[in-house]
Every structure is written in C-alpha cells, then in structure tokens.
Amino acid sequence: MKISYALAALPFLGLLGGIAFANRVEPFVLGMPFILFWVVMWVVLTSVIMAVVYFLDPANKEDEVE
C-alpha cells in the first residue's frame, strides 16, 4: 500500500515541485512553451498514475467475478 501512496504523491510533486525547474519559455516542445508542455504532460501522467493506483488497490479486486 505504501507504493500507492508514493505514486499518488508523484503528480503533486511533479506539478508543484517541477514548476521551478520548468519555468522557462524556451525551448518549444510540440509548438508549446516548455512550461505549458510541462503542465500538460503532468495532467496526462496524473491520469495514467491514478489508473495504476486504482489497479494496485486491493479494495478494487473484491468486485471481480471469477
């Protein structure tokens, strides 16, 4: 269960902690300034990480029909 908590904290750290690192306009990535790309990337990664946390949670496996 500790890995789930660590994974759940990762988007928080990436968005808030990484803003200081990513606070620049140059270079452009996919036509977006780097800071905008950074935020969009973390929004997408948050969805992926939360899906992984959902599948790792043992409470969600009780409803499975075998």
What pLDDT score does 6 carry? 84
pTM: 0.74
Report which of 10, 7, 4, 40 is spatially closest to residue 22, judged by C-alpha positions. Answer: 40
| CA–CA distances in Å: residue 14 to residues 7, 29, 43, 62 | 11, 18, 10, 32
Instruction: Retrieve residue 36's tokens.
Output: 């905008």
pLDDT band at residue 54, thresholds of 50, 70 and 90? confident
What pLDDT score does 53 carry? 87
Over residues 4-45, the pLDDT tens digits come to 888 888 888 888 888 888 777 778 888 888 888 888 999 999
What pLDDT score does 48 carry? 93
